Chains A and B, each alone.
Chain A
Amino acid sequence: GNSVTQMEGPVTLSEEAFLTINCTYTATGYPSLFWYVQYPGEGLQLLLKATKADDKGSNKGFEATYRKETTSFHLEKGSVQVSDSAVYFCALSEGSNYQLIWGAGTKLIIKP
């Protein structure tokens, strides 16, 4: 079945550091891939998406490229801020089944 694997957290970085959160997936077809972010005490916000191979999703300085050959969708940001502290979820959706399959989430802590 379909699945998503994310690197375990927490990930702790200093402000202005480079961020990578790894995400790999298993899918039988050609899924759409998403990164969602959850700030403390809040619901989930769509951060970025990619719907086909080699697509690059980007938003708020975050980027992720859909790599079919490595079945990956790693999240990157060149310079993180304290306000980026949150939990980040990688997810996929495929075919006529619109449910999202989620990774376990990666907690990101940015220290000033």
Chain B
Amino acid sequence: KAGVTQTPRYLIKTRGQQVTLSCSPISGHRSVSWYQQTPGQGLQFLFEYFSETQRNKGNFPGRFSGRQFSNSRSEMNVSTLELGDSALYLCASRLPGSLSYEQYFGPGTRLTVT
């Protein structure tokens, strides 16, 4: 079974631009979560989507948004990019169910804002 895939793997953007990152979960996984990883702040939860609905959101500004499609693929968007948005963005998927806490991660998208 194919793992979680993320595209693109690397991205360079300029301050003020916007960016869209894509994540395809493991087949059958309907929950997708996004995390930001930076050297200073570590791993931080952005949001979770399940069945096209945002179920949970971390403490990030409104510039960070996401959505999920009917095939469970998810996108996250960051508008008006700032230098501090440079990070590794990780997507994770999991099986639905009350005991399915374990999440499976993609390789990440490395975003550099200049």
- Interface residues of A, Cβ cutoff 8 Å to B: 32, 34, 36, 42-46, 49, 51, 89, 93, 97-105
Contacts and interface: CB of A to CB of B under 8 A. Distances in A.
Contact of B101 (A32, A89, A102): A32
A25 to B, nearest CB: 14
A45 B105 contact: yes
A105 B35 CA distance: 15
B33 A98 contact: yes
Contacts, number: 56
Contacts of A101: 45
A43 B9 CA distance: 11
B25 interface: no
Q: Which of B56, B58, B99, B102 has the most CB of A within 10 A?
A: B102
A45 B4 CA distance: 11
B102 A34 contact: yes
